[in-house]
Amino acid sequence: MTTTSLHAAVGYARCIFDHDTRCRTDRQLLDRFTADRNESAFAELVRRHGPMVLAVCRRVLRHQQDAEDAFQAAFLVLARKSGGIRQSASVGGWLYQVAIRLALRARAAGLRRRSLLVTLPASVVAPESETPMEHLSIAVEGELDRLPEHYRSAVILCYLEGRTQTEAARHLATTADAVNSRLKRARELLRRRLARHGTALSVAALTEALVAGGSHAALPAHLVRPTARAALEFAASRGAACGAPAAATSLAKGALFTMGILNIKIAVAGFVGAALLTLVALFGASSALGDDPAGVKRDDAPPQKPAAKTVAQPAAKDKAKPQYSVILLWMSGGPSQIDTFDPKPANVNGAFFQSIETSVKGLQISQTLPKLAKQAHHLAIIRSLTHREGDHTRSSYLMRTGWPIADGLDMPSLGCVLAKELGDGRPDLPRYLYIAGQNEGIRAGHTPGYLGPQYRSLDIVARGDLGVVPLAPPTADEFDGVANGKGETHHKAVAKAFDLNEEPKETRDAYGLTGFGQNCLLARRLVERGVPVVEIGLGGWDMHGNIPGILPKRCAELDAGMATLIKDLHERKRLDTTLIVWMGEFGRTPIINANAGRDHYPMVSSVVLAGAKIKGGQAIGKTSADGVQIEERPVKPPELMATIYQAVGVDPAKKNRSPSGGMAPLVEPGTKAVKEALR
């Protein structure tokens, strides 16, 4: 055989092998690479998913070399984790999540971009090179990452990677009809979420934005084979030097370390849970066998004295108990913790604003809140609130009730529970008044649930500019809806509180001639008359862009209203019986996005408490220098609820009767209050 014939035969065999490789599914290619370390199989995965991965990295980093480093890091992670990806998972969807997190990590590390984030030029706020379609694609991609996995995988395969629905069905081990249904549902969810941010899209426009954000990024030929070879070396060497650039290798190692820590936490949690179940089973068995000395009457035991009869407390002592009220300041949209109560001025993530000293030595907050800084000796700032709900609706429900959304259950909100616990003893006063503010968002978890409609809030909606046109009190008929026939009594009890002209001009000015400021003044006047629960809304915190231009104005409203409210209540000797709660549904990303904004971040947020039994003058919990994770004293929503209840004399372990006849607890059984926050 001649040399020419030999080359032809080898070429023909290679074509057959390549065709066979291209015909295989992602899972088959991944299994081949895992079992045989087959470079061609991995190279095919790079070819298939590379355009989408590179597009994600380019959009986040806006720098070609950085994007290529993050691109290669994503496939290095895939090589190492190839055997651990669930059989039912979409490889494209898995790579999408890894790629976007690696790109964000690279940008946070400042690879060739540190100066851009620190100086914040106008091009970051509104990049001139960004077309309207690119801007829309970024917004769509941000919401896409928050979709449930089965919806996101279908969108990535069909739109970002250009697969047919039949091909996507094969990769997802389902039917084409199921993929079609998932795509419809995903589009509808995306449209709703974008509409909340002021972006209304047709199905065609949304589809165009999805396609524009996907597979049409050019994949340089020089990335395919080198990436596959580097991945092979990286998997074989367990992280030693490989053919990828040092930046890509470092990013991949960091991502793998984070994944490893998460797996360890899950394993430890599972082990602890199993151990607890075993202990419970053992104690239960011992009790059943009669081995529990506390639960068995022994014949040789000495006779016990009859229990002393419970003596009722004198009425005078009951009257001496303080009569608490709660003012809830709800920040709809999710305020940025780094730009308010947990500043990071020494880190690139905190580049927008500086920190300032407060009335408490060593405690600093953002320069956006100078008046609250002077009241810090009254504040307990919880900097370590954490949960995992990144969707506005689900997180609002969780933060307002202390319970996650569950089918068939409607848990009462914090305000409604307090309306019952604090208001049942005040029949001649309205229990719960809600004063809506501008830019109010989703009100999930705002209902009384199983407690009944008599404990719902009576909503007061603003008309016009509240700085000029004060709110009118609800009519007797409006009160009647929640007052069991005492509408006229409730109206008379609070009507004069709405006449803010009774206040000196300097007092009204101090609260701020804004809707929120005047509502804070109204709240003070209402709790002085004994109203147990008043809620004030201040929306507009969902700042995905231009934080330097928007947040200072919002904080100025908050600062004047909340600081003066605390100061006023203290001077009037009412702060010890009035609890003030400041919170929203979640925090915002420490990393600044391409539009000089911050995105949803439930893992870390801040909550502020003041008054009642709260121990002020402190920050509870600690976040890392970059604000990405909690280093000390994580606090979960049920713990926050228990703390609020205990601060106003309500037992968190109390249970109320549910419609089914059972007893429903206020918080998850076993939940403890944050003891550091209480005095």
Residue 325 DSSP SS3: strand
Closest CA relative to residue 403, chosen from 661, 609, 669, 606: 669
15-33 burial, b for 16+ CB within 10 Å, e for fewer? eeeeeebeeeebbebbbbb
pLDDT of res. 383 = 98
pLDDT of res. 612 = 97
Which residues pair with residue 600 across a beta bridge? Answer: 588
8-state DSSP, 577: G
Q: Residue 209 corresponds to which tokens in the numbers above?
A: 């934005």
Q: How many CB atoms lie within 10 A of CB 269?
A: 10
pLDDT of res. 272 = 59
CA distances from 249 to 44, 102, 115, 246 (A): 21, 11, 23, 5
Report the chain's C-alpha Rg in angstroms. 30
- List Cβ neighbours of 546 (8 Å cut-off, separation of 6 or more): 125, 126, 595, 596, 597
pLDDT of res. 16 = 41
Q: For residue 573, which amino acid is it?
A: K
> Each residue of 142-195: pLDDT tens digit?
677 677 777 877 887 787 777 788 877 776 777 888 888 888 888 888 888 777
8-state DSSP, 678: B
Distance, in Å, from the CA atom of 517 to the CA atom of 511, rounded to the nearest integer, reads 5
Which residues pair with residue 587 across a beta bridge? Answer: 601
Q: How many CB atoms lie within 10 A of CB 542?
A: 22
Q: What is the DSSP string of 348-400?
A: GGG-S--EEE-SSTT-EEETT-HHHHTTGGGEEEEEEE--S--SHHHHHHHHH
Distance, in Å, from the CA atom of 564 to the CA atom of 573, rounded to the nearest integer, reads 14
Angle at the Cα of 396 from the Cα atoms of 395 and 398, rounded to 5 degrees: 60
Long-range contacts of 507-511 (CB under 8 A, 24+ apart): 507/568, 510/560, 510/564, 511/560, 511/561, 511/564, 511/565
pLDDT of res. 209 = 67
* Successive 10-residue mean pLDDT values, the chain, 679 residues: 49 45 74 85 86 80 81 88 76 82 78 41 38 58 72 79 76 79 84 74 70 57 82 73 75 78 58 60 45 38 44 46 94 96 95 95 96 97 96 92 79 95 94 81 76 90 54 88 87 94 95 93 97 94 94 96 98 97 96 93 97 97 96 97 97 85 87 96
Distance, in Å, from the CA atom of 263 to the CA atom of 273, rounded to the nearest integer, reads 15
Q: How many CB atoms lie within 10 A of CB 333?
A: 26
Q: Residue 600 corresponds to which tokens in the numbers above?
A: 């949803």
Cβ atoms of 216 and 200 closer than 8 Å: no
pLDDT of res. 368 = 97
pLDDT of res. 267 = 57
Q: Which domains does the chain have, with CATH numbers?
A: 18-114+129-263 (no CATH), 321-677 (3.40.720)
pLDDT of res. 268 = 58
Cβ atoms of 74 and 98 closer than 8 Å: yes
Distance, in Å, from the CA atom of 444 to the CA atom of 396, rounded to the nearest integer, reads 6
> Each residue of 321-342: pLDDT tens digit?
789 999 999 999 999 999 999 9
Q: For residue 205, which amino acid is it?
A: A
Cβ atoms of 554 and 329 closer than 8 Å: no
Q: Residue 438 corresponds to which tokens in the numbers above?
A: 């501008």
Cβ atoms of 386 and 399 closer than 8 Å: no
Quick check: pTM over 0.85? no
pLDDT of res. 366 = 97
Closest CA relative to residue 551, chosen from 334, 349, 400, 329: 334
Q: Compute CA 412 distance to the chain's CA centroid, rounded to the nearest angstrom.
A: 20
Q: Residue 211 corresponds to which tokens in the numbers above?
A: 């396609």
